């Protein structure tokens, strides 16, 4: 395909997401390792682009390697208990320095704004502040964590106010107590708390480990929170970081964050692929399924038409006008993949004869897998049974093998309801197949 038309297709697919994400609040976590990466300027530039598209961004960054480096130069030992740093007063100095430096570096990169922009001098506004009130972790297992703390309260009202003024908010993993004490916080945990407190639309975790989860051949691109919990309890091959991120993603979604996304921070531009394509490139966690089978409504008519028009042109399906579809919409079941109709089927009941007609079964050409056809058929069979029907029939010209493999048997026109026989199109000469359900 020519490059131009690829671009046009790409843009058409991305446009609904550009629209959907405008004015939404996304909390993005990235590690201190990401900050230290030579590609970090690109990552920040990508954030400026998101901001220019009207996305309300809150960035929460880590500082672990930066602290390590300073501890080392100062000849101090890095002490952990259960994976959590113990921040004694001397280490706190390193923490303060690391947080300050990283914050300034991020601000500086964001101040560059958008490069190659036709709007000269357009500036990305950045805001940092004392949004996080913290409390000490205290003594655990007899170990005093000193200045290591956890979130006590977040000033979400101030964050929202700054977001309203089109600022990107940068939050470092530092919190203050009401008495002015300073605490070193886990940036990952902080990001989750911020997302929950702000009721963010998304929590996006830039993971150090390779994403999506799953295997190269069989990547896990989306999970409901229930499936994610199942994965956590069953999978033996998840690294510690993936496990933690998955737990954080679940926690956010169980507290009203609409979607959590885990993406590989090393993969250039992954954030755009995740946000502006339907299938994404990372792992999406949400409390509701990403793809659902449901009864059609009038709003689905356009989507169904997009799906069936090519099949009507090639003669696989009988042509249906928009008007017919609108009147018959209650007979339709659709598969909705994040707003795109990727499958449909209709069931027309002939109650007196105990028969149902399965019609108009179609799948989107890019989504023919995942047993969608079989699942549609099963769904239609279930609906037919609940209507008290005992058999379903189908009239088909080109796909009889598919139905034969699924329990349909060749039958005669005379086996069909009278009304259907009267309308039989002899020119089309469809095969009659019936299944007892
Ligand atoms: N672009 C959409 C969003 O930002 C869908 C992303 C789907 N991603 C996935 N890994 N399944 O919400």
In the reported structure, the alpha carbon of residue 277 is separated from the centroid of ligand 1 by a whole-number distance in angstroms of 7
CA distances in angstroms from 13 to 202, 210, 277, listed in the order given: 20, 26, 7
Residue range 87-114: average pLDDT? Answer: 94
Question: Are 279 and 297 part of one and the same domain?
Answer: no
Indicate whether 256 and 362 sit together in one domain. Answer: no
Residues 279 and 370 in one domain: no
What CATH number is given to the structural domain containing 108? Answer: 3.40.1160.10
End-to-end Cα separation, the chain, in angstroms: 45
Pocket test for ligand 1, best of 20, 264, 276, 338 (most atoms within 8 A of CB): 338
Assigned domain for 127 exists: yes
**Kind plus residue range of the DSSP H or E element containing 286:** strand 283-286
| CB atoms inside a 10 Å sphere around CB 151 | 20
User: Which of these three, 288, 311, 331, is where a domain ends?
Assistant: 288
The pLDDT confidence band at residue 209, using thresholds 50, 70 and 90, is: confident
Contact (Cβ atoms closer than 8 angstroms) between residue 188 and residue 24:
no
* Residue 264 CB–ligand 1 contact under 6 Å: no
pLDDT mean across residues, the chain: 94
- Within this chain, do residues 365 and 284 fall inside the same structural domain, yes or no? no
Cα separation, 156 vs 202, in Å, equals 16
State whether 119 and 159 are in the same domain.
yes
Asked whether the beta carbons of 184 and 95 are under 8 A apart, the reply is yes
| Position 417 in a domain | yes
pTM, two decimal places: 0.91
Are 399 and 344 within one domain? yes
Q: Are 126 and 167 in contact (CB under 8 A)?
A: yes
Give a yes or no: residue 6 inside a domain: no
Q: Same domain for 301 and 282?
A: no
The pLDDT, as a whole number, for residue 210 is 80
Q: pLDDT tens-digit profile of 271-281?
A: 999 999 999 99
C-beta of 26 in contact with ligand 1 (< 6 A): no
Establish whether residue 274 lines the binding site of ligand 1, counting it when its CB lies within 6 angstroms of any ligand atom: yes
Q: Which range has highest mean pLDDT (64-68, 218-222, 423-427)?
A: 64-68
Domain shared by 244 and 312, yes or no: no
Tell me, using a 6 A CB cutoff, whether residue 45 lines ligand 1.
Answer: no
The rounded distance, in Å, linking the Cα atoms of 218 and 37 is: 29
> Which segments within 40-79 are labelled E, that is strand?
56-61
Q: Is 275 in the pocket of ligand 1 (CB under 6 A)?
A: yes
Which pLDDT value is given to residue 1? 55
Confidence grade of residue 29 (pLDDT, cut at 50, 70, 90): very high
d(CA 200, CA 185): 20
Share of the chain above pLDDT 70, in %: 99
Range of the domain at 401: 292-436
Residue 143 pLDDT > 90: yes
Q: How far apart are CA 239 and CA 258, in angstroms?
A: 25
The reply to whether 318 and 231 lie within a common domain is no
Contacts of 382 (CB under 8 A, 6+ apart): none
Indicate the pLDDT class of residue 51, thresholds 50, 70 and 90.
Answer: very high
Exposed/middle/buried for 6, CB within 10 Å: 0-12, 13-18, 19+? Answer: exposed
Residue 4 lies in a domain: no
| pLDDT, tens digit, 9 for 90 and up, residues 410-426 | 999 899 998 888 888 88
If asked whether residues 184 and 324 sit together in one domain, one would say no
> Alpha carbon of 295 to those of 16, 141, 153, 274, 343: distances in Å?
23, 55, 43, 28, 12
Question: Is residue 192 in a domain?
Answer: yes
262 and 316 belong to one structural domain: no
From 255, 288, 321, the end of a domain falls on 288
* Cβ–ligand 1 contact at 283 (below 6 Å): yes
Total domains present in the chain:
2
Q: Is 10 contained in some domain?
A: no
What's residue 319's pLDDT? Answer: 83
Q: Is 250 near ligand 1, meaning CB less than 6 Å away?
A: no
- Tokens standing for 68? 């390590």
Report the pLDDT value the prediction gives residue 316, as an integer from 0 to 100. Answer: 81
Q: Percentage of the chain surpassing pLDDT 90?
A: 82
pLDDT tens, residue by residue, 227-278: 999 999 998 888 899 999 999 999 999 999 999 999 999 999 999 999 999 9
Does ligand 1 have an atom closer than 6 angstroms to the CB of 338?
Answer: yes
pLDDT number for residue 115: 74
| 110 in the same domain as 45 | yes
Return the structure tokens found at 343. 């499958």
Residue 262 lies in a domain: yes
Q: What's residue 276's pLDDT?
A: 98
Most distant pair of Cα atoms in the chain: their distance: 92
Q: Is residue 3 part of a domain?
A: no
Distance from Cα 85 to the centre of ligand 1, integer Å: 34
pLDDT at 173 over 80: yes
181 by Cβ neighbours in 10 Å (0-12 / 13-18 / 19+) ranks as: middle
């Amino acid at each position: 395909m020519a490059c131009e038309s690829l671009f046009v297709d790409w843009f058409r697919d991305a446009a609904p997401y550009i629209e959907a994400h405008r004015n939404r609040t996304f909390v993005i976590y990235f590690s201190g390792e990401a900050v230290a990466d030579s590609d970090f300027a690109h990552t920040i530039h990508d954030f400026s682009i998101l901001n220019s598209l009207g996305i309300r961004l809150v960035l929460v960054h880590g500082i672990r390697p930066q602290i390590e480096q300073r501890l080392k130069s100062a000849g101090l030992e890095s002490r952990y208990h259960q994976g959590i740093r113990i921040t004694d007063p001397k280490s706190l100095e390193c923490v303060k320095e690391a947080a300050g430096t990283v914050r300034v570096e991020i601000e500086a990169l964001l101040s560059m704004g958008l490069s190659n922009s036709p709007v000269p001098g357009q500036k990305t506004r950045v805001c940092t502040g004392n949004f996080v009130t913290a409390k000490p972790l205290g003594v655990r297992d007899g170990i005093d964590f000193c200045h290591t703390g956890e979130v006590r309260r977040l000033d979400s009202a101030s964050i929202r106010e700054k977001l309203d003024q089109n600022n990107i908010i940068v939050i470092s993993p530092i919190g203050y107590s009401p008495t002015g004490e300073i605490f070193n916080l886990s940036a990952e945990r902080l990001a989750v708390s911020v997302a929950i407190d702000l009721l963010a639309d998304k929590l996006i975790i830039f993971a150090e480990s390779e994403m999506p989860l799953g295997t190269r051949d069989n990547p896990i691109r989306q999970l409901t929170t229930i499936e994610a919990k199942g994965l956590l309890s069953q999978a033996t091959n998840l690294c510690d970081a993936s496990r933690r991120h998955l737990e954080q993603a679940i926690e956010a979604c169980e507290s009203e964050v609409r979607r959590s996304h885990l993406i590989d921070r090393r993969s250039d531009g992954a954030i755009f692929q995740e946000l502006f394509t339907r299938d994404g490139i990372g792992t999406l966690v949400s409390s509701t399924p990403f793809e659902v089978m449901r009864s059609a409504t009038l709003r689905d008519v356009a989507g169904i038409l997009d799906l069936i028009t090519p099949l009507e042109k090639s003669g696989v399906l009988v042509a249906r006008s928009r008007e017919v579809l609108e009147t018959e919409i209650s007979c339709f079941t659709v598969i909705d993949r994040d707003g795109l109709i990727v499958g449909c089927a209709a069931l027309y009941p002939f109650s007196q004869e105990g028969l149902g007609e399965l019609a108009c079964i179609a799948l989107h050409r890019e989504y023919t897998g995942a047993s969608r056809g079989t699942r549609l058929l099963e769904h239609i069979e279930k609906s037919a049974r609940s209507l008290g029907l005992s058999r379903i029939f189908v009239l088909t010209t080109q796909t009889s093998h598919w139905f034969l493999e699924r329990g349909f048997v060749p039958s005669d026109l005379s086996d069909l309801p009278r009304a259907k026989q009267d309308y039989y199109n002899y020119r089309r000469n469809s095969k009659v197949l019936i299944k007892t359900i």
